[in-house]
Structure 1
Amino acid sequence: MHMDAHFAHRPPADRVRVDEAAGIDIRGLTKRYLTPKGETFTAIQDVTLTVEPGQFCAIVGPTGCGKSTTLAQISGLERPSAGSVRVRDQIVDGVTSGVSYMFQADALFPWKTVLDNVSIGPVLLGTPKREATTLAMDWLRRVGLTGFEDRFPHQLSGGMRKRVAMAAALINNPRILLMDEPFGALDVQTKAIMQNELLHLWEELRPSVLFITHDLDEAVALSDRVVIMTSSPGTIKDVFDIDLPRPRGNVQQIRHEKRFLEIQSRIWESLKDEVTRAYEQTAGSAA
């Protein structure tokens, strides 16, 4: 079955996806943990952030600033110590429906084939096995993995595994896509390919995206908005709107454009202080 047939009952993607996407509204979000010594550690404090429906938002900040903790609150995998998260005006109080997650580590089942890894999402949501398989085959075509359906994850390159993970994350048409340094472990060339692939698929489906990265160039090239988090405890320091035109065909070309360099330089002025502060904190504790 072709994708046109599968989505025959839906209006075209460019007319509905932003409406179907879910906005994220974070207010005064704080998360505290108990350390093994019984002390209280504040990971994030008073985080307030809005991601509009269909918006691509990147979060950048030093290591340990609470970026991943923020995603965990949105997904419902963890409960906040204070504050709230709303998705489509509903308080997150448990695992959030309509959310897909992509991690830096490949969250693939090593004992399942590529095809089974991609089709498992629709199957778990009640899609008949044959229909799920057909849909997965089409998604593998879309991410350039036709012919690799019967391979296992260990038989693929790092970039190919990321393609499988991306297909698995997008096959259920998520309203929200949470991405935690998904391309961080890839080489520069493969990373650029995956960034272009992600932009293409996002333009088509338009979920709301919250994308964590340490790579400022990546954040600017992909996003509508870049958020800077402070060193621990993490909170929002600055928010920058990225006015680069869309669609953005090639991230490698974008990075050489004058406007990109201006934006990147302005954001780095805000980010570098937090990176320096985080380094001094860890260096001091190590000493």
Structure 2
Amino acid sequence: MSDTRSPGAGRTLDAGGPAAGIEIVGLTKRFLTPKGDTFTAIRDVTLSVEPGQFCAIVGPTGCGKSTTLAQVSGLERPSAGSVSVGGRIVDGITQGVSYMFQADSLFPWKTVLNNVMVGPVLTGTPKKEATVLALDWLRRVGLAGFEDRYPHQLSGGMRKRVAMAAALINRPRILLMDEPFGALDVQTKAIMQTELLQLWEELRPSVLFITHDLDEAVALADRVVIMTSSPGTVKDVFDIDLPRPRGDVQQIRHERRFLELQGQIWESLREEVDRAYAQTAAVAA
């Protein structure tokens, strides 16, 4: 256990440590359907994420993006292949990982402050120090003064800020984000994307970010991975050479290089989206 300090935060438990690289090799995951058939969600996925890198995964619905995250977190075991984090094979719950989902994952019976405190308390930080740390993170995400509210008393964007503070308060080595802003309106989504970039620049965990929004992927990531239609595997990997720090994502979307990258990636993604739609239409028929 090591101590880190940030202004106004007091002593905190560094639950994650330095950012860790992720190595996915030949990863395959199969499930049994209710009828007893075998369904292959992902097949032979091979992917590397360098320590501190922001990697976005884009692909059609049902291509296994969320399944891939579950393998990295250790919530599920692979049918074949392997996942390594920080050079160690994942064979249980991965240490130093925070998860942010599309749906609100806050405890409805806890206040905003107590929701954010959950991580430090569970990892052994004394309650008084966890309170100071949580207050500091609520300030960072613009929610100072809302500590005693409950999730149902907040807007969608405010709940996402609480979730982001709860995900980052332990300074994770790896941040897994499964369409975290998908349910937000366009304006709130852009604000949250910009805030995420600012916080990530400060902490620099390794990020695996799932999204259906290609613009979001290009604006946020160092690398964009395209997955094929089901069963999902890696089709293309694009390095995003937009300079950092990137600032306001709304401005980034108008830059020439952004438009060039978006167009190149869409050419690869469009084929998979069309194929997934055709598969769905065939099943419906």
Structure 1-normalised TM-score?
Answer: 0.95
Q: Aligned equivalents of 1:21 and 1:43: distance in 2?
A: 28
Q: Is the 8 A contact 2:53 2:222 kept in 1?
A: yes
The correspondence for 1:172, drawn from 165, 170, 179, is 170
Equivalent residue, structure 2, for 1:13: none
Deviations 1:205-236 (A, max 9, x none): 00000000000000000000000000000000
The correspondence for 2:263, drawn from 247, 262, 265, is 265
Deviations 1:11-40 (A, max 9, x none): xxxxxx9x8100000000000000000000
Aligned residues: 279
Partner of 1:31: helix, strand, or coil?
strand
Q: What is the correspondence of 1:25-174 to structure 2 with a 5 Å cutoff?
A: 25-174=23-172
Q: Is the 8 A contact 2:12 2:130 kept in 1?
A: no
Give how far 1:3 is off.
Answer: 2.7
Q: Aligned equivalents of 1:71 and 1:175: distance in 2?
A: 15
Deviations 1:147-178 (A, max 9, x none): 00000000000000000000000000000000
Give how far 1:7 is off.
Answer: 7.0
Q: Aligned equivalents of 2:148 and 2:10: distance in 1?
A: 26
Q: What is the correspondence of 1:200-215 to structure 2 with a 5 Å cutoff?
A: 200-215=198-213
Amino acid at match of 2:6: M
Q: Aligned equivalents of 1:238 and 1:209: distance in 2?
A: 18
Q: Aligned equivalents of 1:8 and 1:130: distance in 2?
A: 10
Q: Which runs of 4+ in 1 moved over 4 A?
A: 5-10
Amino acid at match of 1:84: S
Structure 1: segments with no counterpart, 5+ residues: 11-16
Q: Is the 8 A contact 2:8 2:133 kept in 1?
A: no
Give how far 1:4 is off.
Answer: 2.5
- Identical aligned residues as a percent: 82
Give how far 1:9 is off.
Answer: 9.9
Q: Is the 8 A contact 2:63 2:228 kept in 1?
A: yes
Q: Aligned equivalents of 1:67 and 1:9: distance in 2?
A: 33
Give how far 1:8 is off.
Answer: 8.0
Q: Aligned equivalents of 1:207 and 1:187: distance in 2?
A: 26
Amino acid at match of 1:165: A
Superposition CA RMSD, Å: 1.5
Q: Aligned equivalents of 2:125 and 2:243: distance in 1?
A: 38
Give how far 1:134 is off.
Answer: 0.4
Amino acid at match of 1:224: D
Equivalent residue, structure 1, for 2:7: 4
Equivalent residue, structure 2, for 1:199: 197
Equivalent residue, structure 2, for 1:252: 250
Q: What is the correspondence of 1:229-244 to structure 2 with a 5 Å cutoff?
A: 229-244=227-242
Q: Aligned equivalents of 1:135 and 1:129: distance in 2?
A: 10
Amino acid at match of 1:3: S
Equivalent residue, structure 1, for 2:22: 24
Give how far 1:193 is off.
Answer: 0.2
Structure 2: segments with no counterpart, 5+ residues: none
Deviations 1:53-85 (A, max 9, x none): 000000000000000000000000000000000
Amino acid at match of 1:271: L
Equivalent residue, structure 1, for 2:226: 228
